[in-house]
Amino acid sequence: MTVLVTGAAGFIGFSTCLRLLASGKQVIGIDNLNSYYDPALKNARLAQLEAFPNFTIRKIDIAVDDLLTVFTAFEQRSITEILHFAAQAGVRHSVMMPFAFVDANVRGQVAILELAQRLPALRHIVYASSSSVYGRNAALPFRETDRVDQPGSFYAVSKRAAELTAECYHHLHQLPLTGLRFFTVYGPWGRPDMAYYLFAKAITEGRPVTLYEGASLGRDFTFIDDAVDAICAVMDLPPSDQVRILNIGSNVPEPVARLISLLENFLGRKADIQMTPRPSADVEYTWASLEQIQQLIDWQPATSLETGLEQFSRWFLSYQHS
């Protein structure tokens, strides 16, 4: 029994691999280690995974390479789950580089589903979607049954296209699929392009912190350990006759201003806040309904924003000085 994890050197992929490896699972990771953000962080994550004897890494691009040639016949027969987290991230980056999102998020999804059809022992494919698909939806909290046809960014378009691709492959090939709409996942070893990480870096370096205008600017922040708990529990429960979509969030939206205040406290420095208009690609508020996932599994996010940011800040200060 082997779990194939794409995006294994990415934040969510790495964190999930650590949990699986620690539990004794055999894991094959895939990552192209691209330079969207500093590959040194990805390599540092990967070094931790490679310390496990039950981990193997394949440094390939799923949107380009022939995946069937990457695995031995034995590996193809042994893969029982796919956790597909490889993606091109970045809401604002998608405005400037839309073709990169087509390649990674749409073509990459097709490549994984084509591979999945040829794995005889496969039981479940869990793939990463995003809260961004809710776009300009004004109904709160965001529910999986809401309309998602008013995207606010091309990143959202690419993620919704991946969901529709999954729906089609289930219809045509009966693949067991679950899509997870992640809401602002944060924590140690996180992505340096995300706001909380950028805020921390600016605060510690004494540079201005850019905060978007709007008294109601808020996010449903999800601590990484809580997200991994949900991923592992869902992975073990493949759907029988439908394609599932599930929100992964905290169901406790927080003002972004409070996020900055907590970072100031844990990093020991005041932020020089500069207000700026919010870009049209960024939504003002996110809030995850958790009714669907809680009907499926006994899962409740356990980490408060204060606790999560304290853990992140300790890691951040250590990593910056390493």
What residues are labeled active site?
155
Q: If we measure between CA atoms, which residue out of 105, 227, 112, 222 comes closest to residue 177? A: 112
Determine contact, residues 107/158, Cβ cutoff 8 Å.
no
The reply to whether omega before 141 is within 30° of 0 (cis) is yes
Task: Return the structure tokens found at 297.
Answer: 């599994």
Q: If we measure between CA atoms, which residue out of 223, 222, 118, 237 comes closest to residue 177? A: 237
Q: If we measure between CA atoms, which residue out of 187, 191, 182 comes closest to residue 127? A: 182
* Cα distances (angstroms) measured from residue 150 to each of 138, 185, 269: 10, 23, 40
Determine contact, residues 39/61, Cβ cutoff 8 Å.
no
Please state the three-class secondary structure of 209-224 as a single string: EEEECCCCCEECCEEH
CA distance 119 to 112: 11
